[in-house]
Structure 1
Amino acid sequence: MKTRRKTLLTTILSVGVLTLLLGAAAGSQTDPLVTMSYLNDINTPAILKQVDAKLDSREQALVDKLNGVADAYSQEVEALISVSGGTSTGAEGASAVFSVVTVKAGQQLLGTTGCELLLRSGSATCVASSAPGLVDSTEGSTLDAGGAVQPNHLYLVTADGRGLKASADATVLVRGSYTIS
């Protein structure tokens, strides 16, 4: 019986040692658990395909959201332009964009604070109750009452009731609120 036990114990120990040796050898450089070709040919492309699909769906969702926001802003801008009129109406007007205004000789175009004027043709002089009458944004200077308005210079009205008086028929680009008298 003792020999049988010894044989059984030897067999169990041998199996245990072999298991440990084989377990330690699995996954070595010569015998990897997962082959590099499996990773390169099957696993990595599958993962990349899933990532690409998720990125594409997220990109499309962002593009759709951006288009919706852009459309909403476009509609708001169009509504604001239609409310402001975009052009002058008769002898008074206000515009968020430049409007072409014809001023007859002897007439005055008076703007509100912040109104922009650009003389395109004709001649005009500055109308103001005190200095500075208009700010010449093109030259970086000021224009006092009675000073000649230069063609193609952008002028900024510094206070309500200032503007220009046409010496001859004049065409003026105007942005902002104004009156013609």
Structure 2
Amino acid sequence: MKKLLVILPAVLGLLLLFGHTFAAPGSQSDPLISLSYITDTYLPSLSATIEGRITAAGNTVYGSSSQKLTALVQEYSQKLDALAVQSAFAPEFIQTRVKSGDALTGTTGTGFVLLAGSVNVTFSSGAVINVSTGTEILSGSSLAASQRYLVAEYTTAVFTVSSDTAVVEYEGNYSFASSTGTDYNAMADALKLLGLFRGGDTGYGSGYMLENKPSRVEGLIMFIRLLGEENEALSYAGTSPFKDVPSWASSYVNYAYSKGYTNGVSSSLFGTYSTITAPEYMTLILRSMGYSDASGDFTWDTSLSYAYNKGLLTSGEQALLASKTFYRAQVVYVSYYSLDAALKDGSGTLLQKLIAKSVFGEEAAAQARAKVTSSRIA
């Protein structure tokens, strides 16, 4: 009897928990449940019911979780497969020239340094650290030049070029996406191959300094090269009245002065390091093709529209040069495409003239042209 009294509360609890009902044996006058019924009939039935409900609930949860887990595995497998194709690892810093819209994606441990130009970094979570200052930066920030950045743990960051050109260094895991933007870097490579562009003594970015504003002396040197007269200029031993010309540029300036190509900004100053504007540089380009502002073909301040009317510039190029800050990148652009423009006297193109003067050969010209695959600005 004591055993029955112990079991009954437990049985009643189970009944309340699982809502199980049964038909008790006996009659209205004798409603007691026998111990044999509980142990031999009811408890086995209750146990089977409980086990069935637990199994059903478990199967439902397992099935839902299994589907979600399978979907996640497939999603991340696809991402890993993509990374396996596109990503790479740089064990030490790699330096490269990039163009507007180019994007480098880095993950935990990727290092990045901007040497020239402008780059923005974005990330949806985690952190990017400016190691040079020991501070975190916000997503969307523009990077400071010559400072080292590190992608922190559990972070994927995208470094996107926002200037026409830039010079960057990176190390660690990365993937690189190239834009379809104007490739000023390729044009600089092409002109260098032809001996028309050599850059300066800057220790990075091939010395091209495409992110800098051009100076008057740089414009003059490009003009002399496009005339095909660099050898004559380098061997010229005469002088000029200008007092602000460094020794490395003196032969160019003195030669140009002797030929009447320049009068300087005053009787004693050439204005070596003053910046040259787009209309001023286009004036030199037009002169190299036989047009003359001195004889009234055009004036320096109308050189862009005149070049457009003569087919040297597209409407998009004219608008860009008229509204945008003029950098060495644009010097390279204008110089490269001027090679295909017709000379004033109709004798051919500027490229053909330079080949005829043995400045470079046809094979070099073909190799240079192959370097530039981007389209002109329409």
Query: What's the TM-score, normalizing by structure 1?
Result: 0.46
Structure having the higher Rg: 1
Q: Which has the higher strand share?
A: 1
Structure (1 or 2) with the greater helix fraction: 2
Give the number of the structure with larger relative contact order, counting CA–CA contacts within 8 Å between residues 6 or more apart: 1
